[in-house]
Amino acid sequence: MSEACDLTQKKCRACEGGVEPMTEEQIREMLKSVEGWEYRDGAIEKTFEFKNFYRTIAFVNAVAWIANREDHHPDLQVSYKKCTARFSTHSIGGMSENDFICAAKVNALVM
């Protein structure tokens, strides 16, 4: 089973109380598990393109469902045929495994 599959099977955990942000090296390694995501400005992000506005909004709603279920919420930038999702863990001021778990689950929506 690939790392990405492993991530889609995991559940986000609360990060308060002693959880340290990932190092740059850990982030680079985890990026290999989430196809198409890039690390920039303290978050991972990916832009998804769709055929029309209806499909874009359907995707946004599915991402919202995942985020609510995982209690880990992205920043979303939505336009007619695109949605950019950005994950970081605000409570620890950096990146955590939760960001990659959610990125893998979002990727699974369109793969």
76 neighbors 85 (Cβ within 8 angstroms): yes
Q: What are the tens digits of pLDDT across the range 72-81?
A: 999 999 999 9
**How far from chain centre, in Å, is Cα 93?**
16
Q: What are the tens digits of pLDDT across the range 10-54?
A: 777 777 667 789 999 999 999 999 999 999 999 999 999 999 999
Sheet hosting strand 75-78, strand order edge to edge = 38-40, 43-49, 82-87, 75-78
The widest CA-to-CA distance across the chain, in whole angstroms, is 44
Provide the CATH number for the domain formed by 3-10+21-110 in this structure.
3.30.1360.20
Beta-carbon count within 10 A of 71 CB: 11
